[in-house]
Structure 1
Amino acid sequence: MATTDKDHIKRALNERDGFQVWWRLLRPHTLTASFAPVFVGTMVALNAGSFHLLLFLAMLIASILIQSATNMFNEYYDYVRGVDSEHSVGIGGTIVRDGIQPKTVLRLALFFYGIALLLGIYICAITSWWIAAIGLVCMLFGYLYTGGPFPISATPFGEVFSGFFMGTVIIGISYYIQTGYIDAFPIFISIPVAILIGCIMLSNNIRDLDGDKQGGRKTLAILLGRYNAVRFLGLLFIIAFYFTAHFIIIGILPLWSLLTFVAVIPAIKVVKGFKGKTEPLEMMPAMVLTGKTNSIYGILLGLSLLINYFI
């Protein structure tokens, strides 16, 4: 019976064997949370008159590797703690459904961290060794998000930590390594990006609310309850676009950044997709669409800054 249930989940999630097992382990729908901030921070630096292609690529690859490793730590530690099972959705499923050894997932995560560390050394050698300290802190919190005795993801602060480190900090670092200094502009611009990254985590916790509650977690979604958590998610979307509009009006962002409001359409669909749903499989499309909302917003924000530079 268990095998039948597992196969049913795999079919429902369209999970395939082969290379896709490892691709799912990365949780690709979350990787825009690492790409968009690097792109945006670099484009802000470009408008300040500074751009170095190799630094951009090194920062981009390192951020994606750290995000991927964080997802693997999540996969490993949730399995070890018994949070994930073959019925869990929204995970790579490489351990519980595909039979990949847990230690293999952990070693791969550490390997990704190692490559990111080497890229960080390259970035520091060209810019400043202060970046090393900040980068190590980011990597530490990436691990502590699901690892350690008190994982951050099991607390009401998961959205805050993920939004701050993956949004504000990464945008700030991306700007600094290009320009050699930091000012208020990238920090202001990071606010809506950080909020939308937090939305990805909140939508994940809304979907996993019942399972997380059984696992003894105290996420923000659990404390608010499903109905209020969905409403709060909608409020976060409104706040993110409010800040965007405000920054355009006062001149922090160019008029071209109105392009980001295209992301309002999927944001509305996300909230509607969660309303009235209680089963994780039913909510999976809304969860994936939250990541796409962040992708559309981040890419269009970066493109608007790129267009502003050339026009």
Structure 2
Amino acid sequence: MAKQKRSNPTQQPRKQANARSVTLRDWISGARLRTLPLAVSPVLLGFASAVSAQPGEFHWVRALAALAVALCLQIGVNYANDYSDGVRGTDDVRVGPARLTGGGGVDPKRVRNLAFFFFALAAVAGLFLVVRTEQWWLLAIGVLAILAAWFYTGGKRPYGYAGLGEVFVFIFFGLVATVGTAYTQVLFVPSNAWVLGTAAGLFACAVLMVNNLRDLDQDRNAGKRTLAVLVGRGTGRIFFGVFALAPFVATIMFMLVYPLSGFALFTLLILGPAVVITSTSETPRDLILALKLTSLGSFAWAIIMAIGIIVPNITPAVVPAYLG
């Protein structure tokens, strides 16, 4: 007689409690809107880098297409993560907001298909950029970005379960998004785009790290070996502090040339408390506020830095090019 697989009794009540009709609000929540600034920030910084390199060279349509690529990839990876973690049981018990798949109220295939839909939108916007710039080699970058987004938690051997999630977000939501945006504007890579892309990538790593510190216990129990699980809570807190504060080195570098960018130092008033909370947290729920502050602070930093770089490059002769 075959043995029946025993379920975890502590997880069953949660499944049943969430087996309800899913509303539009639930689907919107599944997109994880608080993560979208991570997609917008590198595009803003890449745009600023391009403006600093060629003040009179700007293409609105390309900029919007780059923004569409970043946003659709971010939303797509959020739904893909919801689907993959849900079907693996990683989200059966969680501290943060309930997930669509893990909550048991949605057919997992619907969540997966929605992820594919947003990946397709990102592909269309990316293809448009390739056609407009005639840089066909960018197609390879786009394919890699979509594959990386899916295999973060999808597939048989997701790299997000092997402690490599931070590598993905640093490369694609930092360097690729920032440098790529700048390149599609001026068709070369300004040197400061690498610095700004590094800063954006570190902030993205900080958001992912504090999120994974919050979920550390449930991820460990589910076999999800995030970087936080691999290094432990104490070292993870140190990593988070480095990720969240290192971008301010870029602020100091840029303010020597663009004094207005120095105002980005004020975002330490947001990110500093996030570091303190993360370093002293006693329960996973304490980190929910730290996660919100990190996302908000990094977005504010990107906006102020972009304005600080762009404004000195706007002259009366250049303004018409921006409005046209």
TM-score (normalised: structure 2): 0.86
Contact 2:244 2:294 in 1 (8 A): no
Alignment CA distance shift 1:92-1:171 (3 Å): farther
Identity %: 27
State the secondary structure of the residue aligned to 1:286: helix
Give 2:127's aligned amino acid. Answer: I
Alignment CA distance shift 1:92-1:297 (3 Å): farther
Counterpart in 1 of 2:147?
140
Q: Do structure 1's residue 20 and structure 2's residue 43 form an aligned pair?
A: no
Deviation at 1:35, TM superposition (A): 0.6
Q: Do structure 1's residue 36 and structure 2's residue 41 form an aligned pair?
A: yes
TM-score (normalised: structure 1): 0.89
Give 2:197's aligned amino acid. Answer: S
The 1-side partners of 2:151 and 2:14 are apart by 32
CA RMSD across the alignment: 2.4
Counterpart in 1 of 2:187?
180
Counterpart among 281, 289, 304 of residue 293 in structure 2: 289
Q: Do structure 1's residue 52 and structure 2's residue 59 form an aligned pair?
A: yes
Counterpart in 2 of 1:207?
214
Q: Do structure 1's residue 125 and structure 2's residue 127 form an aligned pair?
A: no
Q: Do structure 1's residue 111 and structure 2's residue 117 form an aligned pair?
A: yes
Any unmatched runs of 5+ in structure 1? 10-15
Any unmatched runs of 5+ in structure 2? 1-9, 316-324
Give 1:257's aligned amino acid. Answer: S
Contact 1:90 1:204 in 2 (8 A): no
Map Cα deviations across residues 23-82 of structure 1 (whole Å, 9 max, x no partner). Answer: 111111111111110111012112223211111111101210111000111000001111
Aligned residue pairs, count: 302
The 2-side partners of 1:243 and 1:40 are apart by 12
Counterpart among 310, 314, 317 of residue 306 in structure 1: 310
Deviation at 1:238, TM superposition (A): 2.7
Q: Do structure 1's residue 166 and structure 2's residue 173 form an aligned pair?
A: yes
Larger radius of gyration: 2
Contact 1:75 1:92 in 2 (8 A): no
Counterpart in 1 of 2:77?
70
Contact 1:21 1:98 in 2 (8 A): no
Deviation at 1:183, TM superposition (A): 3.5
Map Cα deviations across residues 215-237 of structure 1 (whole Å, 9 max, x no partner). Answer: 22322212322123112211222
| Greater than 6 Å deviation, 4+ residue runs | 1-4, 6-9
Counterpart in 1 of 2:320?
none
Map Cα deviations across residues 155-203 of structure 1 (whole Å, 9 max, x no partner). Answer: 2321122112111111111011110112322112222111111111111
The 1-side partners of 2:196 and 2:278 are apart by 28
Contact 1:145 1:151 in 2 (8 A): yes
Map Cα deviations across residues 217-272 of structure 1 (whole Å, 9 max, x no partner). Answer: 322212322123112211222322123213433x3xx1111121122111111122
Contact 2:182 2:193 in 1 (8 A): yes
